[in-house]
């Protein structure tokens, strides 16, 4: 089965510019996650979707970050405007069930964002 797809793989922008990332989860996976991974740190959950509804966005900086998952499949994460501290790898992951907390998450390759 195909894995989690993300694009672009790399992006370089200047501060105050906007950027969008795209994620296509594994087919049939109802739960989708966006993480931010800063160099030298573990992943930080930004937002979690169950189908097209938001389950958890408590760590999403809502003044500049937004995400949507139309039709409960693909998702986009947007940053507007970007700050230098947003430089990180943005990881998308999906899993089968959100109530069964034992189910592991499957990750995409990530998008490496550099803000200059």
Residues near other proteins (CB under 8 A) are: 4, 6, 40-45, 56, 91, 93, 98, 101-102, 104-110, 112
In whole angstroms, the minimum distance from the beta carbon of 61 to other proteins comes to 17
Strand blocks (E) in 1-116: 5-7, 10-13, 19-24, 31-37, 44-50, 53-56, 65-68, 75-79, 88-95, 106-107, 111-115
Task: Give the Cα separation of 85 and 9 in Å (integer).
Answer: 19
| CB of residue 84 to other proteins, shortest distance in Å | 22
Q: Shortest approach of other proteins to residue 7 CB, angstroms?
A: 13
- Residue among 81 and 109 whose Cβ is closer to other proteins: 109
């Amino acid at each position: 089965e195909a894995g989690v797809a993300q694009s672009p793989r790399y992006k370089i922008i200047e501060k105050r510019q906007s950027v969008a990332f795209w994620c296509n989860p594994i087919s049939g996976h109802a739960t989708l996650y966006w993480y931010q991974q800063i160099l030298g740190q573990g992943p930080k959950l930004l937002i979690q979707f169950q189908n097209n509804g938001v389950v958890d966005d408590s760590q999403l900086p809502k003044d500049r970050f937004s995400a949507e998952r139309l039709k409960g499949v693909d998702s986009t994460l947007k940053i507007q405007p970007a700050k230098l501290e947003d430089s990180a790898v943005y990881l998308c992951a999906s899993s089968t069930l959100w109530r069964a907390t034992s189910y592991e998450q499957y990750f995409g390759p990530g998008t490496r964002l550099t803000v200059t």
